[in-house]
Amino acid sequence: IFQVLLGIFFNVHSAVLIEDVPFTEEDFKDGPERIYRLYEQVSYNCFIAAGLYALLGGFSLCQGRLNKRKEYMVR
């Protein structure tokens, strides 16, 4: 959930998060467009991380349920 929110904030080019965007000196040249691209890339990374976490969560839920059923079957 955290990652999804972060991704949204980065996508909206939030000024508060400016220090978190990795930029170099030359990015400042042609206007704010490059910075916006950077923002968006970071936001995509956040969404990817969120997706991975969702996968992990679903996986562990499935495993948990399988194990519970296995316990009953062994009995």
Partner 1 sequence: MGSLFRSEEVCLAQLFLQSASAYSCVSELGERGLLEFRDLNPKVSAFQRRFVGEVRRCEEMEKTFTFLQQELRGAGRALGPCPDNPRAPLAREALRVQEQSEQLAQELREVSRNRASLRGRLRELRQYLHVLREGQRFTSLSAPLGSPVRPRALSEREPILDPSLHQHLDRKINFVAGVIHPWRVSAFERLLWRACRGYLVASFVEMPEPMEDPATGESITWVIFLISYWGEQIGQKIRKISDCFHCHVYPYPESEASRADTMSGLHSQIQDLSVVLEESEQYLAQVLDKVVLALPTWRVQVQKMKAIYLVLNQCSFDVTEKCLIAEVWCPVRDLTQVQDALRQGSYKSGSSVECFVQRIPTSESPPTLIRTNKFTAGFQSIVDAYGVASYQEVNPAPYAIITFPFIFAIMFGDVGHGLLMFLFALWMVLYENSPSLRQASNEIWLTFFEGRYLILLMGAFSIYTGFIYNECFSKATVIFPSAWSVAAMANHSSWSSAYLATHPSLTLDPNVTGVFQGPYPFGIDPIWSLATNHLNFLNSFKMKMSVVLGIVHMGFGVLLGVFNHVHFQQRHRLVLELLPEMVFLLALFGYLVFLIFYKWVKFSAANSLVAPSILIHFIDMFLFTSNADNLPLYRGQVPVQTVLVVLALASVPVLLLGTPLYLCCRRRAPRPGRPAPVAAGEQEPLLEGQEAGNSVNATKEDVESGGHSPDAEHLDFAEIFMHQAIHTIEYCLGCVSNTASYLRLWALSLAHAQLSEVLWTMVMRNGFVRLSYAGGVVLVPVFAAFAVLTVAILLVMEGLSAFLHALRLHWVEFQNKFYVGAGYKLCPFAFAPDAWE
Helices within 2-32 (DSSP H only): 2-11
Helices 33-74 and 2-11 sit at what angle, rounded to 10 degrees? Answer: 160
**Using rule CB under 8 A, residue 14 touches partner 1:** yes
**x/- map, 46-65, partner 1, by CB under 8 A:** xxxx-xxx--x---------
- Cβ-in-10-Å burial (0-12, 13-18, 19+) of 39 comes to buried
Interacting residue with partner 1 among 4, 11, 13, 17 (CB under 8 A): 17
Contact flag: residue 1 with partner 1 (CB under 8 A): no
Q: With binding defined as CB under 8 A, does residue 35 bind partner 1?
A: no
